[in-house]
Structure 1
């Protein structure tokens, strides 16, 4: 096969990922074949293997794209905010917005769940890194809130941070096809319960 120019190669690779991403997200690794991706992308299997050495490498690239979506929708908006209470409120509102995003509605289970397969070390490590990064960040938000007197809770913040990830994942997997008004009500209720659980202290001037 003749070597592609840089721009053409990058565009082809991007096209393959954009074709495979919703398929893996909907059906997981085992539910999608290279043949199906080849047909839908209108590329030969040889072209696919030119860019990705195997199906697992392509799935891994799609998993990285999924991580990017989570960061963009939930975690990046939290970064510049000084108030820990506001940061956690953004976590819940970001999760709510994800539930209204058609891409997330159709492309989440296959990345959150293993879908009946044993992940290789590289994918397992990357998955665990996603969880760990998120939990550590949320843990730091909780601890900061406690130090400045905004939150009052006992014990280490990490288990509470882990529960936030469970809430997000559970909501996306279980509520992604619910009507918008139900999503709105449920996310508000979850934020209300969680904020009371961490002892959010209401202040006239938000910190």
Structure 2
């Protein structure tokens, strides 16, 4: 074999190794998602333990899905999920969010680690039967996309204190209505890793991309 062919063969063999090493060393840091909502001490400074900032975690909950099944954080153990708040009679913002969440569901149809959790902010009217019909409308699969209802006080506390969404007046006759277009990406540790406009297609595309990033990030942590 001529020296040129030997050199060419050597280059072909070493390039994949160099690419792998580059991605291994630089890829993780470059694409690592930020973590939102640091815990704040009374001094107004972020809480730090053992040199690491402590971040807020979404608290446990227990609510009822569109199938009548009880769903809690235990059902999301080892999963990452997208959370949002909606109500079935909403015709504008919620419709756009639900259509976009349908795209998220489709993008991760074969990825069991990814779930979607939608909480109704109108639980007095959004019964299991109503949520079941809503799920059919938007193609929500019961093992992938949970539409949850339950005590109003618990849901509102979860929205305001768990996910830290502001309480805003919606165009509705229901007082103190939580109305938010935000989608939140939650990791395995129940930390908020992304916040998106659920009515904006570009933001939803970014969400889908960052779910892939988070899946890869957590896979590397395991390895």
Q: Same fold (TM over 0.5)?
A: no
TM-score (norm 2): 0.21
The structure whose residues are more often strand, as a share, is: 2
Work out which of the two has the higher radius of gyration on C-alpha atoms and give 1 or 2.
Answer: 2
